[in-house]
């Protein structure tokens, strides 16, 4: 989940609807980890994001807990990977 990008209420609700339609009962939440930025730099590629962009930030632990609860309340067990 990328803060402010893929974790909107609408997107989360659509994911839950998709999972319920396809009888998915377990899933893994992959919170954003900006470690990929250093890998990009080491490979000689250019960073196109400002360090203030949400994609460059660690995922907020409280928001992660809230998302897990929301999925759980909708019948989907979430592990964090």
**76 vs 58, higher pLDDT:** 76
> For residue 56, is it within any domain?
yes
The pTM (predicted TM-score) of the whole model is 0.71
> For residue 48, is it within any domain?
yes
What integer pLDDT is reported at residue 2 of this predicted model? 79
pLDDT per residue as tens digits for the range 3-29:
777 889 999 999 999 999 999 999 998
Query: How many domains does the chain contain in total?
Result: 1
Calculate the dihedral angle through the C-alpha atoms of 48, 51, 56, 58, rounding to the nearest 10 degrees.
Answer: 180
> For residue 20, is it within any domain?
yes
Find the domain containing 19 and state its range. 9-80
pLDDT per residue as tens digits for the range 33-71:
777 677 777 788 776 766 677 666 777 888 889 999 999
> For residue 1, is it within any domain?
no
What integer pLDDT is reported at residue 29 of this predicted model? 87
> For residue 4, is it within any domain?
no
- Compute the distance between CA of residue 28 and CA of residue 10 in angstroms, rounded to an integer: 19
């Amino acid at each position: 989940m990328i803060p402010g990008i893929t974790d909107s209420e609408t997107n989360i609700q659509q994911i839950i609807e998709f999972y319920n339609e396809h009888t998915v009962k377990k899933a893994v939440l992959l919170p954003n980890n900006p470690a990929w930025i250093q890998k990009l730099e080491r490979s000689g590629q250019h960073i196109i994001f400002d360090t203030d962009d949400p994609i460059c930030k660690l995922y907020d632990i409280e928001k992660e807990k809230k998302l897990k609860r929301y999925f759980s309340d909708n019948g989907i067990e979430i592990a964090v990977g």
